[in-house]
Amino acid sequence: MADTILVYKKGDIICKEGDYELWFYEVLSGSLTIYTNYGTEKQQEIGKVNGGFVGEMGFINSMTRIGTAVADDDVTLAKIDEDTFSSYFEEHPEKIYSILKCVSARLGEIDANTNEAYNTIKDLLEAYDSKKETGGALKGKMSKFRDVFKSRK
Amino acid sequence: MGPKITEYKKGEVIFVEGSVDEAIYEIAYGEVGIVRNYNRASEVELGSVREGYFGENGLGEGVRRNATAVANEDTGVIRLDAAAMKDYFAEYPVKLDILLQDVSARIRSTDKKYLQACEYIARYMAAEEEGASQDPQLIADMKALVQ
């Protein structure tokens, strides 16, 4: 089965935050940036993709898009949906490692972020229990996690 | 011929925290414990696996294992590195979907904990900035989360 190839220009929106779409993309060339609250005051960049896959988490989990994907330059994508998923990886078995690397990287990233947040909580509990003020470095870390919470409310 | 199963006796280490090991593992039989700070005073078992996959966050160049995997009993595992994956998923194509679902479920569950931690920190900071006392329930919840 032939791949569905899509071409986007710089600034084009590939998919929108909150949309429900049962497909994902392999980035064949170019790069794109993922934003939350794109085009608003609260816009925040949450990742860049210049190879590998995008939208695979939404496809696998049947979830809405977690961000808006915008082309940074001319971008060429292969679209993979429910009908083409099996045949795509049968025809391109070398891509299996790529997609697993992609989801593995997401898992590693979320694991690392969670550990850092937990360690920050442990540090602030220590300050709380010993009735000490939270120092500048700890406050900086706390602000980072507060900003994450605010951006995802 | 099926995939190669590597056997480990109880107590043997499958991979070490801090090592680079670009592979995912499937359990053929037995049980694997996932342990941080293995063999040190601060050793903590993060969980154990009796079926399915483990080590899913270890792919990617230079990614270091964030825990040690130890056989809790006589155990057989299938190690899937880049070379082994092609034949493995050619023989068992449905397992790719199962593995992706498995990793996604872990991402969702870890992300939930992450967001909870971020919320607690935000609430703690709000009280601090208002000059208010910290809510004892918040303190208790934070301690329960990170214990």
* B59 close to A (CB below 8 A): yes
DSSP string, chain B: -----EEE-TT-EEE-TT-B---EEEEEES-EEEEESTTSTT-EEEEEESSSEE-GGG-STTPBPSSEEEESSSEEEEEE-HHHHHHHHHH-THHHHHHHHHHHHHHHHHHHHHHHHHHHHHHHHHHHHHTPPPPHHHHHHHHHHH-
Report pLDDT digits (tens) over A34-43. Answer: 999 999 998 9
Write down the pLDDT at residue A99: 86
* B139 close to A (CB below 8 A): yes
Residues in chain B within 8 Å Cβ distance of A60? 100-101, 104
| Rounded Cα distance, A51 and A102, in Å | 10
The better pLDDT of the pair A3, B28 is held by B28
Say if residues B75 and B31 touch (Cβ distance below 8 Å): yes
* B84 close to A (CB below 8 A): no
A 119-138 residues inside an 8 A Cβ radius of B: 120-122, 124-125, 128, 134
Under the banding of pLDDT at 50, 70 and 90, the label for residue B70 is: very high
CA–CA min distance A27, chain B (Å): 17
Write down the pLDDT at residue A2: 55
Closest chain B residue to A95, measured at CA:
B86
A13 has pLDDT over 90: yes
Write down the pLDDT at residue B51: 93
> What average pLDDT does the segment A101-118 reach?
88
Neighbours of B71 (CB within 10 A): 20
A60 has pLDDT over 80: no
CA–CA min distance B91, chain A (Å): 11
Write down the pLDDT at residue B1: 64
B88 has pLDDT over 70: yes
* A86 close to B (CB below 8 A): yes
Most confident of A135-139, B56-60, B119-123: B119-123
* B98 close to A (CB below 8 A): no
B143 has pLDDT over 60: yes
Neighbours of A111 (CB within 10 A): 17
The fold of the A4-151 domain, in CATH, is Jelly Rolls (2.60.120)
A110 has pLDDT over 90: no
Write down the pLDDT at residue B67: 93
Write down the pLDDT at residue A12: 97
Closest chain A residue to B81, measured at CA:
A97
| Rounded Cα distance, B122 and B106, in Å | 24
Percent above pLDDT 90 for chain A: 48
- Extents of the domains making up chain A: 4-151
Write down the pLDDT at residue A119: 94
Write down the pLDDT at residue A66: 85
Write down the pLDDT at residue B102: 85
| Rounded Cα distance, A122 and B22, in Å | 31
Instruction: Determine phi and psi for B56, rounding to 5 degrees.
Output: -65, -20
The better pLDDT of the pair B35, A107 is held by B35
Write down the pLDDT at residue B146: 92
Task: Give me the residue from B57, B86, B119 closest to A107, CB to CB.
Answer: B57
